[in-house]
Amino acid sequence: MPIISVSLTDKNVEDLETLQKELGFTGRSEAVRAAMRTLMAESNERRSMAGLVDGVLILVNDACASGPIHDIYHDNHPLIKTHVHNHLGNDKCMNMMVLSGEASDINVLLDQMFRLDGIAYLKFIRS
């Protein structure tokens, strides 16, 4: 099995070690492989979408990411039927967006959101 090097923040390492202990992984590499499998499954599910798609995007982010999210929102407004923004405290915000449009366009929007710094949680639920 190839060995690679990955740079993580101190918080990422803390979270990884917590997951390792809580889920009973024998090492951090095992936890990273499980996380990658989960991310790949989500990516494959999104890539299999075709035609007209409806769903809900739930996003929790640091307040500092609100500007870029706002820009993405305006760039993709035809897809966003409803947008609810809520301040959670601890400098976190939650956005809930009802999306409807071509799968390829929704995937572009989701890809843009995934790439943002300051995203604590992102989940698209297809109806």
* Tens digit of each residue's pLDDT (9 = 90 or more) over 38-83: 999 988 998 999 999 999 999 999 887 778 888 999 999 999 999 9
What's the total number of domains in the chain? 2
User: Among candidates 54, 127, 125, 123, which has minimal Cα distance to 94?
Assistant: 123
In this structure, the answer to whether residues 19 and 55 fall within a common structural domain is no
Find where tokens 């803390």 sit: 14
What residues contact residue 107 under an 8 Å CB cut-off, 6+ apart? Answer: 46, 47, 49
In this structure, the answer to whether residues 65 and 91 fall within a common structural domain is yes
Cα 82 to Cα 94: distance, rounded to the nearest angstrom: 14
The mean pLDDT value of the chain amounts to 93
> Range of 58's domain?
51-126
* pTM of the complete model: 0.80
In this structure, the answer to whether residues 38 and 57 fall within a common structural domain is no
